Amino acid sequence: MAQRKRGVLIGLLVGLLVGLLVSLGGQAAAEEDERRSYTGTIEGADFRVEVPRRWNGTLVLYSHGYYTPEVPPGIWLATRPETEEWLLDHGYALAGSDYRGRTGFAVEQALHDQVALLDWFAARVGRPRRTVASGMSMGGGISVLLAERNPRRFAGVLAQCGDLDLNGSWNTALDVAFTVRALLAPDQGVDLVRATDPAASGRALQHAVERALTTPLGRARLALAGAFGNIPDWASAHAPRPTDLVERIGQQAAWTHGAYVGGLGPTGRVDLERRAGGNPSWNTGVDYGRQLARSSQRELVEQAYRAAGADPSADLGLLAAAPRISADPAALAYMYRHAVPRGTTPAPVVTLHDTGDGGAMVDQERWYAEQVRRAGDPNRLRQLYVDRGSHCAFSAADEIVALRTLFARIDSGRWPDTSPDQLNAAAGAFDGRFHLVLDLLTFHEQAMPPAFVRFTPPRFLRPSR
């Protein structure tokens, strides 16, 4: 999935939301049902607020994901537009900031701007009885961080397809790109960090992926690169998990091409390094042979090398000999200050993740649960899984059921039944328009049946702690 295509995807959904705006400049306007809508700017960050006619006292504060410059204007208040309308119809107020600067790794800005919006809401609309943080992708990680750093402001968190260890994701991207460069583009002058020509380096890596897909050995090396990130061999939200070896590697390589040598590759690192004051990623001390042995994709690698008549040990030797990359201490400290949660769970947390998510790997769910066991209360965490490929491939029914699970826990102090059968029955009660799911491979929407499932994520290979 190319990063530009991600921008198109976000633009499609944002376009559905933009039509809901009915006011400008922070002024409220009344619709026929007397719903109040506000837009404006706080300290340079655009915001949007929707308040239903009969507000039930709950505010859902939504945090958006990583935006590229191609994403058109518009502020999301839920992952699906149908969810936004359902929440408003059921009495929930909604708010969201676009963050100062809007695009790139705007985590530090989001943590400030979302709280500033809460202050504005309390002063201009009314103090909520309770506030819930929700968000998708990078915004899922932001939602967890908001609650940890403002424990008295939030009653609960829903982290959807969450990039939970935001620095760990950049470590993963470095491992994948490092492998592609070493095995598939060794003599092309590619800079992985602190790039002198990031666009050229990114193009060289993407072209190397494209060439590798045409040969058995190239595909084996792509499977090896993907294995270091636990990148799933499933990228379609509408089709079943593939079984053909070439198709499996092709779908895995779509993530490598678009997300890990594309979006989080040399070009994406320009913004990250500017914000952090240097490169926060490292692979010093990483034993890639050991990483392969621990990877959820080891079996795919073994099959691919057998099909190529080759042995991965030679390529692992090349990786072992390749010069390593060190993090800049100040940049790494920046990430620990702003982008790595501790797992303290001051309020109940629900996470929702696709089992085949290659945009924010599902292995981060296991890592986050480990942080909660160390620093928080495991009884305040429920992790829900939907059996689909793609990134953030949720229907509105999925999202609403997850939110209702969180609301029930906040209201009663006890978790409701979160078995897959119960969740699927609850999602199945919604009509067809609440079951639309967007496929990032085709950019088509299709109604999909509820697919909550029991799932144990693999171990995150390159966590921040």
Q: Of 395, 402, 400, which Cα lies nearest the Cα of 446?
A: 395
Q: What's the token pair of residue 113?
A: 């701007």
Distance CA 182, CA 202 (A): 14
- Confidence band (pLDDT; 50, 70, 90) for 27? very low
pLDDT for 53 beyond 80: yes
Residue 253, CA distances (Å) to 238, 258, 323 in order: 18, 8, 24
* Contact in structure between 423 and 450 (CB atoms under 8 Å): yes
Helix, strand, or coil (residue 49): strand
Domain boundaries defined on the chain: 3-165+342-447, 168-334
Size of the chain, expressed as the number of residues it contains:
465
Q: Of 165, 167, 168, 135, which Cα lies nearest the Cα of 343?
A: 165
Q: Name which residue leads in pLDDT, 9 or 200.
A: 200
pLDDT for 31 beyond 50: no
Order of strands, sheet of 58-63, starting from the edge strand that comes earlier in the sequence: 29-30, 36-42, 45-51, 93-97, 58-63, 130-136, 156-160, 349-356, 381-389
Measured N-to-C along each axis, helices 166-184 and 266-276 cross at an angle, to the nearest 10 degrees, of: 140
Q: What is the pLDDT of residues 224-246, one digit of tens each?
A: 999 999 999 999 999 999 999 99
Q: What's the token pair of residue 396?
A: 């509105």
| Backbone dihedral angles phi then psi of residue 203, each to the nearest 5 degrees | -65, -40
* Contact in structure between 227 and 220 (CB atoms under 8 Å): no
Question: Residue 147 corresponds to which amino acid?
Answer: A
Predicted pLDDT at 264: 94
Distance CA 29, CA 84 (A): 18
Predicted pLDDT at 73: 86
Q: What is the pLDDT of residues 142-185, one digit of tens each?
A: 999 999 999 999 999 999 999 999 999 999 999 999 999 999 99
Residue 90, CA distances (Å) to 57, 358, 403, 404, 415 in order: 11, 33, 12, 11, 21
Predicted pLDDT at 17: 35
Q: Of 4, 320, 338, 327, which Cα lies nearest the Cα of 194?
A: 327
Calculate mean pLDDT across residues 25-37. 58
Calculate mean pLDDT across residues 20-24. 31
* Contact in structure between 117 and 93 (CB atoms under 8 Å): no
Residue with tokens 């494209």: 210
Distance CA 153, CA 155 (A): 7
Residue 282, CA distances (Å) to 169, 323, 364 in order: 12, 11, 18
Residue with tokens 């191609």: 70
Q: Cβ neighbours of residue 337 under 8 Å, at least 6 residues apart?
A: none
Calculate mean pLDDT across residues 271-293. 98
pLDDT for 199 beyond 60: yes
Residue 134, CA distances (Å) to 39, 83, 147 in order: 19, 12, 10
pLDDT for 63 beyond 60: yes
Across the chain, what does the average pLDDT equal?
A: 93
**% of the chain residues with pLDDT over 70:** 93
Calculate mean pLDDT across residues 270-278. 98
- End-to-end CA separation in angstroms for the chain: 29
Q: What is the pLDDT of residues 306-337, one digit of tens each?
A: 999 999 999 999 999 999 999 999 999 999 99
Distance CA 221, CA 72 (A): 36
Q: How many CB atoms lie within 10 A of CB 407?
A: 22
Calculate mean pLDDT across residues 208-220. 98
Question: Residue 158 corresponds to which amino acid?
Answer: L
Q: Which CATH architecture has domain 3-165+342-447?
A: 3-Layer(aba) Sandwich (3.40)
Predicted pLDDT at 181: 98
- Confidence band (pLDDT; 50, 70, 90) for 33? low
In the chain, % helix, strand, coil (3-state, to 5) comes to 45, 15, 40
Question: Residue 6 corresponds to which amino acid?
Answer: R
Q: Of 163, 203, 178, 224, which Cα lies nearest the Cα of 367?
A: 163
- Confidence band (pLDDT; 50, 70, 90) for 86? very high
* Contact in structure between 106 and 317 (CB atoms under 8 Å): no
